[in-house]
Amino acid sequence: MHAFSAFVAGGLLVSGALIAQTPAAKSAATAPVTRPSVTAGIVSAKVERVARDRATLTVAAKLDVAPQLKLFDAVGKEVAVMRTPDGGLKADVNPAHAYVLAPPPPPRRALPREGLQLPARYVTFGATGGANLGGLFIRPAVVPLTWSEPAKAYATELVVGYEFEDGREAALPAPKTVTFFAEGANARVQADTVTINRSGGSGYQRVTLTTGQIEGETHFTARVSAMDELKASVAIQREPGALALSLPSRELPAFGIGSGELTVSVLARDGMPLVVAKPITVSLSSRRLRQPATVVIEAGKATAVSEFRTAGIGADEIGAQSGALRATLPVALVFPVAAVVAAAVGGALGGAARYLRNKGRRGSLLVRRVVEGMLVGVILVGAAWAGLVGVDLSTGILGTPFGAFVLAALSGYLGCVVLDRVANKTLGSAKAE
SS3 307: strand
SS3 175: strand
Helix (H) or strand (E) holding 185, with range, is none
CA distance 215 to 138: 23
Residue 383, CB-side half-sphere exposure with 13 Å CA sphere: 12
Spatial CA neighbour of 105 closest among 214, 224, 262: 224
Q: Among the listed ranges 81-85, 170-174, 397-401, which one has the minimum average pLDDT value?
A: 397-401
Q: Which CATH architecture has domain 240-334?
A: Sandwich (2.60)
Instruction: Identify the band that residue 13 occupies on the pLDDT scale cut at 50, 70 and 90.
Output: very low
With both helix axes pointing from N to C terminus, report the angle between 363-385 and 401-427 in degrees, rounded to the nearest 10.
120
Position 397 pLDDT exceeds 60: no
Q: What is the pLDDT of residues 192-224, one digit of tens each?
A: 999 999 999 999 999 999 999 888 899 999 999
Q: Which CATH architecture has domain 42-235?
A: Sandwich (2.60)
**The Cα angle at residue 239 between residues 234 and 243, in degrees rounded to 5:** 150
CA distance 146 to 144: 6
DSSP string covering 361-421, please? --HHHHHHHHHHHHHHHHHHHHHHHTT-SS--TTSGGGGSHHHHHHHHHHHHHHHHHHHHH
- Numbered ranges of CATH 2.60.40.10 in the chain: 42-235, 240-334
Q: What is the pLDDT of residues 27-70, one digit of tens each?
A: 444 455 667 788 888 888 899 988 888 999 999 888 888 888 99
Instruction: Identify the band that residue 18 occupies on the pLDDT scale cut at 50, 70 and 90.
Output: very low
Q: What is the pLDDT of residue 391?
A: 52
E-assigned strand segments in 199-300: 205-211, 217-225, 228-235, 240-246, 251-253, 259-268, 280-285, 289-290, 294-297
